[in-house]
Each structure stands twice: as structure tokens, then as C-alpha cells.
Structure 1
Amino acid sequence: MNIKEEILLRTNKGLEIFCFYMPIDFVIKRNFRNPLYDDKRASCNIYLDKKSDCYRMKDFGNDAYSGDCFWFAATMIGLDVKKDFVKVLETIIRDLQLKIYIGKQERFEQRAMIMKPPKPTISQPADQPKLMEEKKWYKLIEQSFSIEEMKYWQQYGIDSNTLQRFHVKSLAHYESISNQGKPFTLGATHEEPMFAYNMRTFVKIYRPKSKLRFLYGGEKVTDYVFGFQQLPSKGDIIFITGGEGTGKSNYISGILSGTLGSERLQAEQTLGLEITANPKGLAVLHYDTEQSEAQLHKNLGKTLRRAGVKTVPEFYHSLYLASLSRKDRLKIIRESMDLFHHKHGGIHLVVIDGIADLIRSANDETDSIAIVDELYRLAGIYNTCIICVLHFFPNGIKLRGHIGSELQRKAAGILSIEKDDNPEYSVVKALKVRDGSPLDVPMMLFGWDKQADMHVYRGEKSKEDKEKRKTDELLSVVKSAFRTKVRLSYQELCDVLMREMEIKDRTAKKYIAYMKEQRILSQDTNGNYQKGELCHT
């Protein structure tokens, strides 16, 4: 077998070569505009040529732009496929990391990669394509992580498995072209290490100890979310927390009632939340580790009445776990989820009332991490949402203890239920949301209604109350941030807000502007931030 045949064998008959070098998305046998010139009509496609048993590109509008994967790769990297065929093969082997050796040359030890990321399907003006291609080009050379580099990551609790999961590489060398069209080169040193995050269509360069910390190679998309690909495609965990007597069990009853029918209930019936109905009759599982068996039965009656259902649906299962040992409780949850998943064709929702009762101590770090990871795993396996109730008073927007810290990191959302200033009401506050900030989420109220003989939705708290909560929480964060420092730069302040409030960069910047307007922050003559007038009142 010659080198060409071996490459075709390892690249699905050349299809992977087309996919790698093609600057636009395409579908086999479906026409698209040829990216090699200013094509006006979609008359080009990729197909499997049965005669040569490899994929080829055919342009019905201009046959001069037709050929196999080697011709296409050569055209994209500026080589002549006939004169420079060996060089074309070497480039393909290197770029696709095929580990095929040509002769006695050792060309693969450095693991160099040249990437030409995809560009939008919208064609560029005729006078700009060459310049745009130059701006997208970059070259990097990877190396193994050194002991010092691993120590740097380990101080943040990041190990080699995490680095591998997020496609982080250590770099020895990086080349690219600046926005001004000038080539530049960066090299890693002991004092200034360099890392790369492979983001598929582009690369993010991180130099933590350099003045210029971040660079991007290739075409950076505007709406990228770092770590998005690593999120589980299925399942979520939501936590509800609060102290005794705040109405958590009644709130859970409102949520469960929304899953018992085939049509969605009004938000007022489910205490302000919109709950997805369960028309397919998938399993709904409720595990209680705290209530007595009699109280659990009483709560079930309230749930049925709220949903307007007279009998318990066969897909609804409420399990009493308080009498079991902690080890047996988790075992029952695992085994019953598997049983009911197969019995009902899936799981619509799982509620665990009393997650802290599944472990020895909520302040045990090892147990806390293990139980949250296990629930996270189960949510993914069964493609469902798990709602957990944690009987803790939160500390502002933070949860207490090791289990609280772990939940804060892993949960898709966290709700806190507290007694309102009006003792007849309970208030629901968001502590964590997937997008934006919890301080921008309205606070919902619910309270007891004698006539209905159940808790009912009482609307949202006023805009003034919402703004007061926002100001109070931001004041607390700012006072904590400036406890050891008098001034912080804009970026340092952004980092503090993102870390302490679990928010994204754009939300942190919005809050800085808000706090400056509200006199929570002020700026000195150098533009650094310090505590504002409101922090001293």
C-alpha cells in the first residue's frame, strides 16, 4: 500500500480531508457555492466516485475547479498538486495528525498543526478574500505539560483530566498574523508559559503570566461559550434551599402538580413557575428523606388536589426513605430510577426532598462532592431534571458548607425560599441561574389561602424590593472584595464579580456600571475602582 492509499484509508476515502480544508459547511451530494472563487450559483458538490473509490469535488459551472481531495488540499494551501505532491501529502499527514511516516524523515515529534478554520457561508467582497485568509492563519507547536505548569493549574484544583477534557494544550511556539497584517511569533518560557484552548473553528491562547494574556487564532465566533461542549447534553440539577418553616415542601408540591397532567397548568396553580406537562406519562419520582410516612401521604393529597387529579397516576411514585440508612437511601434512588425509567419509557422529573440526608455530614467535603457528582451522573444517564431540596439558610447569594459550595458550582439553578417581611408570605429568590444574574430575576411570593385550603401564588415583589436586594447583595460583594485592597483595576473587579456571583463577563461589566451609577463604586484619577459613598453609610 502506497502513502496515498494509506491516507485515503485513514480519512474515510478522503472525505475527512475535504472536511478539514473546506472553509464552509457542506453536505455530501448537496450543491453549494465553490469557495475557490466568487461563485454566484450553488453548482458544486462533494460525492463518492465509485470508479476511483474516493471522494471528489465536482463543479458543474466550472470544471477547472473540480478534483479529488489531494487537489483540493493543495489548492487551499497554495501548492501545485502535480509538482508538489509529496509536500501536499506531508502537509495533510501533519495537519490531520495521521502519524504516517514518509521515508526516514521524522516529521511528527513536534506535533505541529496548521489550522484554517471555517468561515461564514456569506462570501467576502472580491477584493478582500486574500487578506481575510491571511488573518485566519495560525500555527502552533504543542509540548508536554511541565512540572511547573501542572503546579500552576493544580493551585486552582485543575488536574490533567480536566485539562484534557477542556482540550487545553501546553504550547512551545505560536505564529500568526496581526490585525494589521504583520506576522508575529510567540515562544513559551519558564517565566511565561503559554497554553491553548482548542475551540474547533479557532484557538484561544492563554499566557497567564504575560502582560498580553489572551490571543485568538483563526476566526473567533462572536457568540462562543467556553466549556459549552463539555456540558452534558442531557439532564440538569436544580436545588431549592431554605430554613425550616419557609414552605419548601409546599413549593415542591406545586412543582409536582404540574407534571401529573397532559396539559400545562397555569403558573398561578404551580406557585409562579411554568412546569412542562407530561403528556407521554413518563415517570415522575418523589423521594422524601425527612417527612414521616403520614405527612408524606398528606402532602401527596395536596399535590393531587392542586393538579385537579383524583387518583394517583400510575407513572407517579412517591417513596418514603426516612426509615432507611443513608447508604440504602442512595441505593434505592439508583435502583428505582433504573426500574421506573424502563417501566414508563423515561423519567420526566425527579425530586429529592432532603439531599443532605443522603450523606453523613453536609460539611464533609468528600461526601459532598461524591453525592453531587452522582446526581449529576444520574441526571445525564436518564436524560432528566433532578430537583433537590437542601434544608439550609443561605448566606446571601452563597450556600453554606461543603455541600453548598459544590452545589453552587454544579447546579443549573438554585432557588432559595425564605419568610417574607410580611410573615403571611414566603418569598422565592434565585441564587443561581444558567444565563444572566440571579439578582435580575423577579422575586415570587406565595402564601396560605384558607378558602382554597392550600398555598397559592401571590405575585411578584415590587420593582423597588428587587432593586433593594440587588443593591444589598452588590454592597456585600464589594465590601468583601475591598477588605484587603483599597483599589482594584477594571479587570480585577470583573474577575471578583464573576467568581463571587457565578456570572459571565458581560453581566459583571453591566453591574460595574450599575454600581458606579448607584454610588456603590467610585473611580480615582487613574481609573481604578474603590468603595463608593454608599459603602460608607
Structure 2
Amino acid sequence: MLRKEEILERTSNGLSVFKHYVPGNWRIGRNFLNPLYEDNKASCNIYFDRRSGIYKMKDFGNDNYSGDCFFFVGQLKGLDCNNSMDFIKILETIDRDLGLGLTTSNPIPVTRTSCRIVDDIPEETPEKESKPYQFREQKFPLAELMYWQQYGITPEVLELYKVCSLRDFQSITADGTPFTYTSSVTEPMYGYKNKRYIKLYRPFSKTRFLYGGNFGENYCFGLEQLPAKGDTLFITGGEKDVMSLAAHGFHAICFNSETVAIPPTLIYKLTFRFKHIILLYDTDKTGKESARKQEKQLEEFGIKRLLLPLSGTKEEKDISDYFKAGNTREDFLKLFIEFLDNLYSDTLIMLKSCEIDFNNP
């Protein structure tokens, strides 16, 4: 039976797979257009991940298209890496297309070039280029305040989390072409500000998110607003969810997207500050899959996931939509308490079987 370790051993830790399937004269660590979709901005590159010891692809424009060589081939062939049968097909496809000979019991010899390639790569992760940018703020128009208010987010919460209304924003594309976005009644524009960067949120535009500056790989919204100690911390899918929870009296943070790997070192530190750390992702397919994956990867820290009673449609999938639908703090608190009751009752049932009968040891 094919094993992915065999393929990685014979493809320079996955690099040869990318070289076979990714068109063009791309280079390691240099941005190029992602072939998995109609990409018009070169914000994707191949890099060596020293933690896993393999080559991976990172798409800064859309993290849903980031992954290792098996994920990439799966996307090309319409196969799901998380499905065992599909994964076998992916392995067979790579073996056949690259002529590795693993299924014919006549494998190609392993050369030493793979080791030299790895040693020559100093970067553990690709560096995200710092984009120059300028913007002008404006006072929140009433219509924009009403937009945030439907999620329970007040002007005080917006100020606390350093959210501003933007009149315009100027930056450059990946190829150096300057561009300007201007706010309008139909396409408002907001900024999540930081000293080193700004992340734009355009809820009604085709390009909803973009950034200026460089927030690196450690973007975590809401972290500096957390108290020193607390009972429960929710990890959500986006900035609006963080503020909506905060407006209803709950502590929350989010990373750049639901598919980004959550840093274990940060979670380890947060376990000393919070009794419960709960994943509260979107109820659509991507959110559910990401929550399951994150829960498994952070299992050692006791991280659990809570699924909201929402349909998973575009209009009804996250905690912001939950509050927008008229649910109150008390409603969510009741939902969370029921979640804890079920969680700990299952744990107590398992512990029951381990009890000692002292009358009949």
C-alpha cells in the first residue's frame, strides 16, 4: 500500500510534486499566481516548513488554498485529502504522474539532492512583503453605526478595538501597480488599525479583505483587549465576531482566518489565564471542518468546539448572525451552559467506571 512518507522521500519532501504540477518558472519563496483559481494578484508561494519537514504552498490572498503537495494535487483533481479513499487516489496519482514506480514495486532510487535542497532553504515560513499604504479616516456616518449596531457593537466597542471608518485607502498591488479604494454609501470601508499594519474590511464589496503594512504570521485580533484572568475565552472566525461577543460580555479572539494554524505556544499561555477555551467557528462547511481540525491539533490543551444552532447559510452562520437574529446574552449563556453540562457529564460517566468500590476492592 502506498504511503505518503515514501512519496515525500522520493520527491525532495514534496518539492518535485509542486514542480511537476505548478506551471511557470516560479521560484521558492517568490510570489506567483495561484493556479487553483482565477488569481489576479501574485500572492502565493512555495516554501519549506521546517516544523513538518516538507514543502508547502502558502496563499496570502486566500488561505483556503494553502497546504502541502497532497492537498494541492487533491485540489487539482477534485479529491479531498481528509477522505481516506480520496487520499489513496491522490497518492496513486502522484506515483503515476511522476513515474515514481512505487505501485509497480520498481521505485526510482532516492538521490541526495533532496537533502541539499532542504539545507539551502533558510526560511521556515515565507515572508509576507510589507505593502506601503496611506489612508484617511472619517467620523462614522449614522448608517455605518447602524450596521455595527445590528450585531450589538457600539461606538465604544469600535473604539476599544481600534476600528475606524475609512474615507479612502491607497496601496500597491503585488506587481507594484498603485491603486485607491474610496468609501461610498453602498460600499463602506473599515480599518482594523495597528502600529505596523491596517486590515481593511469591506462587507459589501467583491474584495472584502485586504491589508497594508505587514502583520506577519502572528495576527491575533482581540488579544490585547483580554483581561489578565477570565473564565471562558472563545476563538472565533473573524473580527466582527470578536467584537459582537465582547459587546455581549464575552471574551474572544480571532486569527486571520479559520483555516490558519493556531499557534500552540499562544494557546499554552492562554490556558493559564482562562478556565475554558472554546472554538466558536462558522457553521458552514469550511467552519465545521476547520473547527474539527483545530480541536484535534490542540487536543493536548483541552480545547473544545461549540456548534451554534444556525443553518450555515451566508446570512446565518456565525455568532454575529446569532445576535443579529435577536438572540440575547442570556440565550447564548444558556446554550453554553448546556454545552458544558453535556461535556462534563460525558467525562463523569467515563470516570465512573474507574471508581473503586472500597467495600469490595
Q: Which has the larger radius of gyration?
A: 1
- What TM-score do you get using the length of structure 2 for normalisation? 0.36
Between the two structures, name the one with larger relative contact order (CA 8 Å, sep ≥ 6).
2
- What TM-score do you get using the length of structure 1 for normalisation? 0.25
